[in-house]
Amino acid sequence: MKEVGQQPKDESLAGYDPKDHAKFPIFLLGTGRCGSTLVQKILNSVEEVMIYGEHGGFLRQIAEAYFLNLEDKKIAKYILSQNVVGEDATSVTESLKNPQRWTAWTNWYNRETVKKNFRDFIESFFNPITLGRKMHWGFKEIRYGIDDRVLEMLADLYPQGRIIFVVRNPVDVVASKISARMSAGIEADAHSWTEQNSHFLEFYRLNKKSSRIVRYEDLINDNGPHLDQLFNWLGFSLTDRQINIIEITRPSYHGRPRPVKLTAGQINEINKMTKGLRKELDY
């Protein structure tokens, strides 16, 4: 995976001024049952933050379209390298209207406008103008990080943005998935935990300024220090309001099933399948 989101001199970003948009976005990612909803609630307790919930992972297909536009050789040759939007719009019209011209690849957009249009599309879902003021907008999602380029797209479109990865001990994740009837089977759950978090860890290592890994256990057990570090990184001030959210959202299990108790054999199986990555994440 190549490093992304660290290209302030990229000419494709010419004309993009973050002051004209919202405050920098925050994208919250993790596996299912990792604690991402808790982090979402904590962030939403900050006045100028609006982190929306899951959306079915439709940005997977959007990322495919995004990189098709930027990487396809024919698109680069016949469209992006030729069109200068806004400087000579009439020539495009005249070309399309002239039956003697070769117009099979004639379009109006270039690389800069491709990026602007994809930003506008994403923000039409997650940064609506109805908010009425500039916000740190974003979303949380559990469906990215396995065979997709969504992270790469978000970092490329929003170099000022922040990406937070929430991780949790795989044994607890699998047990929680079984209790929530979200499990695809212990082996499949352990495999997806490893694949998804490996992708997150690789991205983090290449983009440490714009991304951060947060362990669920650190947030709920240390009464503030790790959350304070996260807030400092985001440029926010931590208050008792955020600490209280951790306390009031602790599971009471009244009327809800408790996480299943896995057998020693099942735990050993999960630990064996996730051993290398667990060690890298300090589990």
Q: In what order do the strands lie in the sheet with 162-167?
A: 49-52, 136-141, 23-30, 162-167, 211-215
Chain-centroid distance of CA 190 in Å reads 21
Q: Which pair of tokens denotes residue 109?
A: 């957009």
* Domain boundaries along the sequence of the chain: 15-61+111-280
CB 171 within 8 A of CB 263: no
| Tens digit of each residue's pLDDT (9 = 90 or more) over 14-37 | 444 444 445 999 999 999 999 999
Q: Where do the H-state alpha helices sit in 8-149? A: 36-44, 59-71, 73-75, 89-97, 111-126
* pLDDT, position 3: 57
* pLDDT, position 14: 47
| pTM of the predicted structure, to 2 decimals | 0.88
Nearest partner of 170 among 253, 32, 270, judged by Cα? 270
Compute the distance between CA of residue 97 and CA of residue 44 in angstroms, rounded to an integer: 52
* pLDDT, position 258: 72
| Domain 15-61+111-280 listed as CATH 3.40.50.300 | yes
pLDDT in tens, the chain (283 residues): 655 544 334 444 444 444 444 599 999 999 999 999 999 999 999 999 999 999 999 999 999 999 999 999 999 998 888 765 545 667 788 888 999 988 899 888 889 999 999 999 999 999 998 778 889 999 999 999 999 999 999 999 999 999 999 999 999 999 999 999 999 999 999 999 999 999 999 999 999 999 999 999 999 998 789 999 999 999 999 999 999 999 888 876 666 667 789 999 999 999 999 999 999 999 9
* pLDDT, position 196: 98
* pLDDT, position 107: 87
With the CA atoms of 266, 267, 269 and 270 taken in that order, what torsion angle do they form, in degrees rounded to the nearest 10?
A: 120
